[in-house]
Amino acid sequence: MTSFRIDIDRTLCSGFGSCEELAPAALEVDASGLATARMAQSDDPAVLEAASSCPMGAISVFDAATGEQLA
């Protein structure tokens, strides 16, 4: 199973929350109104869709084993 490393550029995030809706197990909009990863790594492939859907391009997803950028 691929494990995903999630990187969120909070300087780009505008807090709309579509990432949280798509991958609620891995991503959330925190009290400051910006997205954050619930954990540094996730096995949830929904993070790929969340990254693709972010209107700000704030979410990057990497293969945790190889470092390859996946989204």
* Nearest to ligand SF4 of 2, 16 (CB atom): 16
Least distance from ligand SF4 to the Cβ atom of residue 15, Å: 5
Tell me the two tokens of residue 44. 């949830």
Q: List 63's β-bridge partners, or say none.
A: 4
**What phi, psi does 59 have (nearest 5°)?**
-110, 125
Tell me the two tokens of residue 25. 């197990």
* Nearest to ligand SF4 of 56, 70 (CB atom): 56
Least distance from ligand SF4 to the Cβ atom of residue 70, Å: 16
Chain residues that interact with ligand SF4, rule: CB under 6 A: 8, 13-19, 29, 35, 54-56, 58-59
What is the C-alpha to C-alpha distance for residues 54 and 48, in angstroms, rounded to an integer? Answer: 10
